[in-house]
Structure 1
Amino acid sequence: MEPQHLRDLHDLQLRREARSDGPGCRVEHVDGVVRHTGPAHAWNGVLWSGLDARDADRAIAAQIEHYRAAGLSFEWKLYAHDTPADLGDRLRAAGFTAEEPETLMAAEAAALPREVPLPEGVELREVTDEAGVRQVVEVHERAFGTDSSDLGRRLLDRLATDPDAVTAVVALAAGEPVSAARLELYPGTDFAGLWGGGTVEGWRGRGLYRALVAHRARVAAARGHRYVQVDAADTSRPILHRLGFLTLTTTTPYVYEV
């Protein structure tokens, strides 16, 4: 695997040729960008842009107008290799707020560890119903300290309308949810996405994150996806690197609140 090849493939399949990811959502190619629009609890934002210094400000203004008209806050997902080089500065000048950058990483799903030993008394369980979704939301809120109700609604939407497109997994310790993550499957592409891996305090450093990566990679490979990709936080990047993930680029969420 060459990082440049994987980055270009990711740009093509998951950004330029992006598909909608839930009921009521749509993907549009307008003004030199690819954007995703859906209900307020969905992910709304710009996935890809092919802009230059002459048209960037106009395109930024057009996206603000589009999402404002819908009453939606949104994210411009900016990658380090996107153009023009000062696009981040232009977004900030237009009223966006930059969040913490993440590292885009990828690995061959079949090459990753297939099993990671779990602590005694811990089991992994795939989420298939509302009760399982509540456990995922509970873990995320405890692990990250944020309101994860929108995540819960998105998961319920996908399980109800397209259950083959998502696999959520929760780790239970004596019945208590202590870690959770999900796998987004992108039909017709080489990729599946690892999202939302979180472990509550007191259970970190005991292999649960690695176990969830292994479980999801095994599912991705069985479903015909060659690669798994992840937008890694600083806390996850060293673990993923040791597992064999390659660094492709960095990505920074720029958020516009309406």
Structure 2
Amino acid sequence: MKDKSIIDLRAAYDAQLRGVTPPGGGVRVETDGPLTRVVGWHRGFVTGPRDLGVRGAELDVLIARQRDFYAARGEAVEWKTRAHDLPADLTDRLGAAGFVAEDSETVLVGRSADLAADAVLPDGVALRRVTGGSDLRRIAAMESAVWGEDWSWLADDLAARIENAPENTVVLVAEAGAEVVCAAWLVFKDGVDFAGLWGGSTLEEWRGRGIYRAMVAHRARLAAARGIPYLYVDASAGSAPILTRLGLRAVTTTTPYVWSP
């Protein structure tokens, strides 16, 4: 029998976190039936409620319409799925329409008060909040190095988020001298019980020294101070074990299905 608290957390996640808050900077959110889609981002983005409420041929038409919408714009699009979504054949139908699954991540939830324990940074490493364009470009360069692909779009994305909601977007860097060795951000949404842990990437040579854990603890303290009871994160295979040891709990998995022109 499943743990009831996990069921309750997943229900709260479904109720509060299925929508999208546009980062600003000309990005807009539209709806198409049960779906929410983002236009004007670095690539298109589609999400929906747990149960889309459409089946069979009607669902195929809905999927094709999103694909064709972004095709007309010459853009790739990510359709964000969760393992407990309905209908159960959604991912099969996405695949049939040309969408390709990327790496799955684990959706983890934890209590901010429980995660706010003190964590010690290594000697010579300092943590600070950043808002300026030069710092955001340094973060984007670090993320590009970590992931081995071009993340230059991230600087503009974070800048738009900060401009659009400065009190709800907290971007942090850990620096060793002039080098950004880790970056992460905390995103609040008005009227919900969750704050999102995003980023959390560390240069390979700086891993295993407690920097990532310190980033989590600092953001947990900020959330707890604002009275937000829960933190959530879409965790990669590398991050999930660390976060689970810190006390976050898995509520589902999420897999992006991507169509590219």
TM-score by length of 1: 0.93
Q: 2:207 aligns to what?
A: 204
2:130 maps to amino acid: V
Q: Cα deviation per residue 1:157-202 (whole Å; 9 max; x = unaligned)?
A: 1223322221111111122111111111111111111111111111
- Which secondary structure does the structure 2 equivalent of 1:171 belong to? strand
Q: Residues of 2 paired with 1:30 and 1:137: CA distance? A: 32
Could you list the runs of 5+ residues in structure 2 that have no partner in the other structure?
none
Q: 1:9 aligns with which of 9, 12, 28?
A: 12
Q: 1:25 aligns to what?
A: 27
Q: CA deviation at 1:216?
A: 1.2
Q: Which moved more, 1:214-223 or 1:85-94?
A: 214-223
TM-score by length of 2: 0.92
Q: Residues of 2 paired with 1:2 and 1:40: CA distance? A: 35
2:236 maps to amino acid: A
Q: 1:36 aligns to what?
A: 38
Q: 1:220 aligns with which of 200, 220, 223?
A: 223
Q: Does the C-alpha gap of structure 1 residues 58 and 51 become closer, same or farther in structure 2, counting only changes over 3 Å?
A: farther
Q: Cα deviation per residue 1:198-240 (whole Å; 9 max; x = unaligned)?
A: 1111110111111111111111222332211000111111111
Note if 1:255 corresponds to 2:258: yes
Q: 1:144 aligns to what?
A: 147
Q: 1:80 aligns with which of 67, 79, 83?
A: 83
1:53 maps to amino acid: R
Q: Does structure 2 conserve the Cα–Cα contact (< 8 Å) formed by 1:110 and 1:218?
A: yes
Note if 1:127 corresponds to 2:151: no
- Length, aligned pairs only: 255
Q: 2:118 aligns to what?
A: 115
Q: Residues of 1 paired with 2:207 and 2:179: CA distance? A: 15
CA RMSD of aligned residues (A): 1.7
Could you list the runs of 5+ residues in structure 1 that have no partner in the other structure?
none
Q: Which runs of 4+ in 1 moved over 4 A?
A: none
Q: Residues of 1 paired with 2:78 and 2:107: CA distance? A: 17
